[in-house]
Amino acid sequence: MHIQIYDTTLRDGAQGEGVNFSLEDKVLIARRLDELGFDFVEGGYPLSNPKDAEFFQRIASTPLKHSRLCAFGMTRRRGMKPADDIGMKSLLASQAPVITIVGKTSDFHATEVLGVTLEENLAMIRETVAYLREQGREVIYDAEHFFDGWKANPDYAALTIQAAAEAGASIIVMCDTNGGTLPEEIASITRVAATKVDKPLGIHTHNDCELAVANSLAAVDVGATHVQGTINGFGERCGNADLVSVIANLALKKKDYEILTPAQPASAGRQPPGTLTHLTELSRYVYEIANMHFRVNQPFVGPSAFAHKGGMHVHAVAKVASSYEHIDPALVGNERRVLVSELSGRSNIIALATKLNLQNDKSLMDRVLQQVVDLENRGFQFEAAEASFDLLVRKAAGTHTPHFELVQYHTSVVSRGGTPVTEATVKLIVNDKLCHEVAEGDGPVNALDAALRKALHGLFPTLNEMQLVDYKVRVINSDAATAASVRVVIESRDADTTWGTVGVHENVIEASWQALVDSIEYKLCKDEG
**What percentage of the chain carries pLDDT values higher than 70?**
89
CB 427 within 8 A of CB 408: yes
| pLDDT tens by residue, 483-494 | 578 999 999 998
From start to end of 395-476, where are the E strands?
405-416, 419-430, 433-441, 467-475
Let me know the angle formed at the C-alpha of 461 by 459 and 464, rounded to the nearest 5 degrees: 140
Give this prediction's pTM. Answer: 0.73
Nearest to 229, CA basis, from 200, 106, 215: 215
pLDDT at 186: 98
CB 58 within 8 A of CB 10: no
Q: What is the distance between the alpha carbons of residues 449 and 300, in angstroms, rounded to a whole number?
A: 36
Let me know the angle formed at the C-alpha of 5 by 126 and 232, rounded to the nearest 5 degrees: 115
pLDDT at 268: 37
- Note the Cα 176 to chain centre separation in Å: 23
Nearby residues of 401 by Cβ (< 8 Å), 6 or more positions away: none
Residues in a beta bridge with 456: none
483-374-491-358 Cα dihedral, nearest 10 degrees: 160
Q: Is the pLDDT of residue 265 over 50?
A: no
Nearest to 500, CA basis, from 374, 380, 330: 380
Lowest mean pLDDT across 133-137, 255-259, 476-480:
476-480
Query: Coil, helix or strand for 528?
Result: helix
How large is the C-alpha radius of gyration of the chain?
Answer: 28
CB 160 within 8 A of CB 101: no
Most confident stretch, 108-117, 216-225, 252-261: 216-225
pLDDT at 356: 63
Averaged pLDDT for residues 356-379: 78
Most confident stretch, 218-232, 360-374, 464-478: 218-232
Give the H/E segment covering residue 504.
Answer: strand 498-505
- For 82, counting Cβ atoms within 10 Å of its Cβ (0-12 exposed, 13-18 middle, 19+ buried), the class is buried
| pLDDT tens by residue, 174-200 | 999 999 999 999 999 999 999 999 999
Beta strands 258-259 and 307-308, pairing class: unpaired
Confidence bin at 263 (pLDDT 50/70/90):
very low
User: What number of CA atoms fall less than 13 Å from residue 158's CA on the CB side?
Assistant: 13
Query: Coil, helix or strand for 293?
Result: coil
Query: Coil, helix or strand for 509?
Result: helix
Q: Is the pLDDT of residue 93 over 80?
A: yes
Confidence bin at 386 (pLDDT 50/70/90):
confident
Q: Does residue 446 or residue 156 have the better pLDDT?
A: 156
CB 141 within 8 A of CB 132: no
